[in-house]
């Protein structure tokens, strides 16, 4: 490869960039960084963004063949782990002799599938960008701190934690929230500022949706849902609140009778919540709990990319939960 491994790691215009992981926001940013650097060098850079089904055997050779006009080009290959065996051979051949003025960006999920291509790109000295899925709260907290640093702003540790607690696990939502705070607020961003923008809104509105749904009050739950979405509450916060509400009913309905303090210790809930859930569970049956949990799981998959319409997925779940709450025929 034309550049040494060390220099390639620091250069977005290295002949090959390998972005490894399953965090969509980070993968997209890796691509955006390369494209921005290429267009800074040449505003007329041609960008080709391809999925495995679009990259057939011979396509890469065609895209990277010398041009009469020596134009700069960025070729992005998404889900490289899913490339066909013949196309993988083409890519490996290209890695041995990358073309001038062309940057190849391979997006690979990591893991065992397609590992041969991953190993070949690394052996060839590709610039590598880690894009791991951030499943731990500590990782998301570090991400938020990094976003503030990147934007040249200061935020207290308490503010960063409050933002993670309010928004949840979606990195795009977290990045958007940081950008909004930076744009709207002068000086150091503290916990009070985050609370004013996000914490109260997210906690109050998402749990209001869940409370009205598990109480069987479908119309009120839908009204609360639409208000929450219109004010920017992350859909994943709402599915999380619904799941917590239904699970609490399932736990309490299967527990033995006892004082709220005893049940609180047994179920891991505060005593005040025991009293509230007891009031909410009057119309529920075990079958109703099972139906509601399935509906919430489907909605959760829908809002995380498994469906075309997250709002519809949430509305469907809310209605199903509310109907399940009336499965005994009460109310």
145 lies in the same domain as 214? no
**Per the structure block, which two tokens stand in for 76?**
């992005």
50 lies in the same domain as 150? no
Domain-located, residue 159: yes
* CATH for 247: 1.20.272.10
Question: Of the residues 104, 131, 158, which one is the last residue of a structural domain?
Answer: 131
Instruction: Name the helix (H) or strand (E) containing 232.
Output: none
177 lies in the same domain as 233? no
pLDDT of res. 270: 63
pLDDT of res. 246: 92
User: The whole model's pTM is what?
Assistant: 0.59
Domain-located, residue 147: yes
* CATH for 46: 3.40.50.300
Total residue count of the chain as it appears in this document: 331
Question: Of the residues 160, 176, 198, which one is the last residue of a structural domain?
Answer: 198
Spatial distance between the Cα atoms of 164 and 138, rounded to a whole number of angstroms: 9
| Cβ-based burial of 292 (10 A; exposed 0-12, middle 13-18, buried ≥19) | buried
Spatial distance between the Cα atoms of 20 and 15, rounded to a whole number of angstroms: 16
Letter string b/e over residues 177-210, b meaning 16 or more CB atoms within 10 A of that residue's CB: bbeebbeebeeebbbebbbebbbebbbebbbbbb
22 lies in the same domain as 104? yes
Spatial distance between the Cα atoms of 5 and 90, rounded to a whole number of angstroms: 22
Letter string b/e over residues 7-28, b meaning 16 or more CB atoms within 10 A of that residue's CB: ebeeebbbbbbbbbbebebbbe
Query: 78 CB contacts (<8 Å, ≥6 apart)?
Result: 27, 49, 50, 51, 52, 107
Query: 13 CB contacts (<8 Å, ≥6 apart)?
Result: 34, 37, 38, 41, 103
106 lies in the same domain as 147? no
Domain-located, residue 11: no
pLDDT of res. 3: 38
45 lies in the same domain as 155? no
Domain-located, residue 305: yes
Domain-located, residue 118: yes
219 lies in the same domain as 276? yes
DSSP string, 5-63: HHHHHT-TTSSEEEEEES-HHHHHHHHHHHHHHHHHH-TT-EEEEE-GGG--TTHHHHH
Contact 275, 260 (CB under 8 A): yes
Question: Of the residues 72, 104, 131, which one is the last residue of a structural domain?
Answer: 131
Spatial distance between the Cα atoms of 310 and 236, rounded to a whole number of angstroms: 10
In angstroms, the Cα distances linking 208 to 52, 72, 204, 222, 276 are 43, 53, 6, 10, 13
Query: 242 CB contacts (<8 Å, ≥6 apart)?
Result: 209, 210, 213, 214, 296, 299, 317, 318, 321
Mean pLDDT split into 10-residue runs, the chain, 331 residues: 48 95 92 94 91 91 76 93 95 93 95 94 96 87 95 92 79 88 91 75 69 90 85 83 89 70 67 75 89 93 79 93 77 46
Could you tell me the residue range of the domain that residue 122 belongs to?
A: 16-131
Domain-located, residue 158: yes
260 lies in the same domain as 184? no
CA angle at residue 216 from 213 to 219, to 5 degrees?
Answer: 70
Domain count, the chain: 3
* CATH for 164: 1.10.8
244 lies in the same domain as 292? yes
Domain-located, residue 331: no
> What single-letter DSSP state applies at residue 130?
E
């Amino acid at each position: 490869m034309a550049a040494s491994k060390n220099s390639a790691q620091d250069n977005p215009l290295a002949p090959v960039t390998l972005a490894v992981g399953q965090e969509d926001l980070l993968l997209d940013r890796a691509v955006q960084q390369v494209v921005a650097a290429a267009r800074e060098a040449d505003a007329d850079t041609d960008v080709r963004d391809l999925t495995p089904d679009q990259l057939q055997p011979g396509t890469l050779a065609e895209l990277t063949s010398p041009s009469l006009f020596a134009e700069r080009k960025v070729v992005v290959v998404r889900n490289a782990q899913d490339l066909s065996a013949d196309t993988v051979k083409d890519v490996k051949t290209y890695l041995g002799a990358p073309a001038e003025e062309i940057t190849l960006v391979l997006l690979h999920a990591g893991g065992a599938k397609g590992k041969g291509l991953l190993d070949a790109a690394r052996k060839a000295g590709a610039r590598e960008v880690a894009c791991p899925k951030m499943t731990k709260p500590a990782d998301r907290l570090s991400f938020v701190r990094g976003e503030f640093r990147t934007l040249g702003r200061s935020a207290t540790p308490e503010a960063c934690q409050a933002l993670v607690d309010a928004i949840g696990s979606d990195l795009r939502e977290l990045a958007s929230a940081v950008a909004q705070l930076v744009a709207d607020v002068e000086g150091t961003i503290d916990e009070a500022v985050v609370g004013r923008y996000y914490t109260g809104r997210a906690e109050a509105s998402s749990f209001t949706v869940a409370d009205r749904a598990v109480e069987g009050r479908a119309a009120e739950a839908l009204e609360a849902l639409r208000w929450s979405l219109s004010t920017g509450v992350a859909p994943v916060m709402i599915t999380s609140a619904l799941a917590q509400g239904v699970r609490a009913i399932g736990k309490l309905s299967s527990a033995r009778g006892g004082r709220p303090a005893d049940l609180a210790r047994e179920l891991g809930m505060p005593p005040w919540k025991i009293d509230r859930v007891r009031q909410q569970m009057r119309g529920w049956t075990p079958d109703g709990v099972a139906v509601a949990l399935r509906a919430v799981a489907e909605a959760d998959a829908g809002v995380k990319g498994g469906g075309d319409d997250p709002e519809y997925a949430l509305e469907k779940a809310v209605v199903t939960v509310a109907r399940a709450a009336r499965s005994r025929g009460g109310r």
